[in-house]
Structure 1
Amino acid sequence: MNEEEIMRGRVYGADHDDPGPRPGRVYRELVGGPLDGLLLDVTGRREEELREGAALATELGAFGSGGRARYAPRPADPRRWDWRGDTP
């Protein structure tokens, strides 16, 4: 995914009135699962955190409100985070 494609995406947790990514920020593309296609702002996260991935709150997953979708970096392309399942 090139910079132009990234700049067209919607950002997880962003306001619906201003959903786009911001210049100078660092993003990861979420692939699969309930948040497929969204970008996650990882600006300022430590390398250890980036290797671990994230459990992101969503109402769209298997556990509904209060559930989380787990995403982790793709080994061949850590800029893309693949869905690993839902958790309560």
Structure 2
Amino acid sequence: MNGDEQLLNRRVYGTDHDAHNPGPLPHRTYAELVGGPLDGLLLDIHGWRTEDIDDGVALPTELGQYPGGRSLYEARPGEPRTPGPGVSCRLYFSADSP
């Protein structure tokens, strides 16, 4: 399986497990979630400003330490980003919050 096929087989955060196409769309931009309960999922960041990504995200999840809470993911300063569609950057797990 080549890199494009692997990307298309990944699931996007927030899509239903039973969705017809839970994978990424070729014209959208994504951040890969690394570590924590959402490890390996892609977060759709299409249209986000750099500052929005740098601020990190608090994503609702039932999978974290606090069911119904949020898992916090942050960008690492200085880590390279690729502009345009596909996986642009990584966000790393930092904590769970109630």
Work out whether the TM-score is over 0.5: yes
Compare relative contact order (CA 8 Å, sep 6+) and give the higher one, 1 or 2. Answer: 2
Deviation by residue 1:30-84 (Cα, 9 ceiling, x = unmatched): 000000000000011122101111000001111112x000001133245111000
Match of 2:28 among 14, 25, 30: 25
SS in 1 for 2:75: strand
Q: Quote how far apart the aligned CAs of 1:3 are.
A: 5.8
| Alignment gaps of 5+ in structure 1 | none
State the partner residue of 2:15. 14
Question: 1:35-74 to 2 correspondence within 5 Å?
Answer: 35-65=38-68, 67-74=69-76
Q: What's the Cα RMSD here?
A: 1.7
| Alignment gaps of 5+ in structure 2 | 82-88
- How far apart are the structure 2 equivalents of 1:74 and 1:25? 22
Q: What is the TM-score normalised by the length of structure 1?
A: 0.87
State the partner residue of 2:96. 86
Q: Quote how far apart the aligned CAs of 1:14 are.
A: 1.1
Rg larger for:
2
Q: What is the TM-score normalised by the length of structure 2?
A: 0.79
- How far apart are the structure 1 equivalents of 2:97 and 2:74? 14
Q: Sequence identity, in percent? A: 51
Runs of 4 or more consecutive aligned structure 1 residues displaced over 2 Å after TM superposition? 5-8, 74-78
State the partner residue of 2:86. none
- How far apart are the structure 2 equivalents of 1:87 and 1:70? 7
Which letter maps to 1:15? D
